Amino acid sequence: MNSRAITKFVLAALCVVLPAVWFAGASVVDRGPIRERVRAADAEYERGVAQSADAKSDLDASRESFRAAARAYEAAQSESHLDSAALAYNLGNARLRAGELPGAIAAYRRALVLDPSDARALHNLEQARRQVQQRVAPPAPSRAEILRDGWFVLGASTRMALTLTLWSLGFALLTLAVLGTQAELAWRKPASLRRAGLALIALAVIVGATVVGDTLAVSGTDLAVISQQSTLRKGNGDGFEPAVAEPLPLGTECRVGESRPGWTEVELGDRTRGWIKDDAVIRVAR
């Protein structure tokens, strides 16, 4: 094997090894403090459950335990930048038991943004929605959400592993093609190996793009929940006429649009658009 073939082989090997090293490094997180935060939140939640089951216990005491659990779950999210469907689901449960309906709905929606296949979050979301007075249907899923739900049959970590596997196999075949060409070994069929390698790499790029799409969908979600009973107005000011006759009830789901100082434009599930004060909206994204 000459020096040129050796160089190509080393470059191909680096293309195989470096993505795997990056993925392994990216997955290493100091889980100790996070685990303690979540364990403390779970303990507060269980305390609230026990208090609510005890006939002698005060309802306010159990709700305060659930609020403490919600604060601990939120702290675990913010301090660790851990944005998982399971943590959002637990946060939704704590908020719901604490009587914070809008926050619970927002947390369940967040869980479903992160994992559309989470049946527990979907079930509890429907339970929470039944508590919304004068319920307006939630906004229909966007085309991007429908497309994303289609590939979410496989989780993001599974698709990332598949991407690295396809990428590695593709470059391995390209390496064999280079070696076969350099050694003039016809039985290795370097042209066929090269085509197969390029096909696997192309497939790896496509699968990897769905993981990137997940990240963009999570960070760019426009979902929101009304957190205060507020009047939807036709403009960004109290002097504008109401867009709907009745104030929006707590827990109404919407999509956010344009923002102006102190005001946010929202669209309801029935396509009604209007403006509402910023502090009356909980955005699903953190």
Same domain, 35 and 119: yes
pLDDT tens per residue across span 47-82 = 999 998 887 777 889 999 999 999 999 988 877 666
The answer to whether 141 touches 149, Cβ cutoff 8 Å, is yes
pLDDT tens per residue across span 109-120 = 999 888 888 899
* CATH code of 250's domain: 2.30.30.40
| Amino acid (1-letter code) at residue 264 | T
Same domain, 45 and 98: yes
Residue 147, domain member (yes or no): no
Same domain, 41 and 126: yes
Same domain, 212 and 255: no
Length of the chain: 286
Q: For residue 183, how far is the Cα from the chain centroid?
A: 49
Domain range spanning residue 262? 223-283
Residue 160, domain member (yes or no): yes
Residue 146, domain member (yes or no): no
Same domain, 157 and 21: yes
Same domain, 74 and 105: yes
Same domain, 159 and 118: no
Domain finish residue from 178, 199, 219:
219
Residue 167 scores a pLDDT above 80: yes
The pLDDT of residue 4? 56
The pLDDT of residue 136? 82
Domain finish residue from 170, 201, 219:
219
3-state SS, residue 242: strand
Question: Token pair of 198, please?
Answer: 């390029």
From the number of C-beta atoms within 10 Å of its C-beta (0-12, 13-18, 19+), residue 2 rates as exposed
Indicate if the alpha-carbon torsion angle 52, 54, 59, 63 is positive or negative. Answer: negative
Indicate if the alpha-carbon torsion angle 243, 248, 254, 255 is positive or negative. Answer: positive
Same domain, 205 and 121: no
Residue 150 scores a pLDDT above 70: no
Residue 258, domain member (yes or no): yes
Residue 142, domain member (yes or no): no
User: How far lies 151's CA from each of 95, 120, 143, 190, in Å?
Assistant: 30, 20, 13, 34
Q: How many domains does the chain have?
A: 3
Same domain, 160 and 18: yes
CA pair distance 104, 114, nearest whole angstrom? 15
Same domain, 36 and 111: yes
The pLDDT of residue 249? 92
Indicate if the alpha-carbon torsion angle 165, 166, 167, 170 is positive or negative. Answer: positive
Residue 74, domain member (yes or no): yes
Residue 62, domain member (yes or no): yes
Same domain, 54 and 126: yes
Same domain, 44 and 89: yes
Domain finish residue from 170, 202, 219:
219
Q: With a threshold of 0.85, does the pTM exceed it?
A: no
CA pair distance 158, 84, nearest whole angstrom? 15
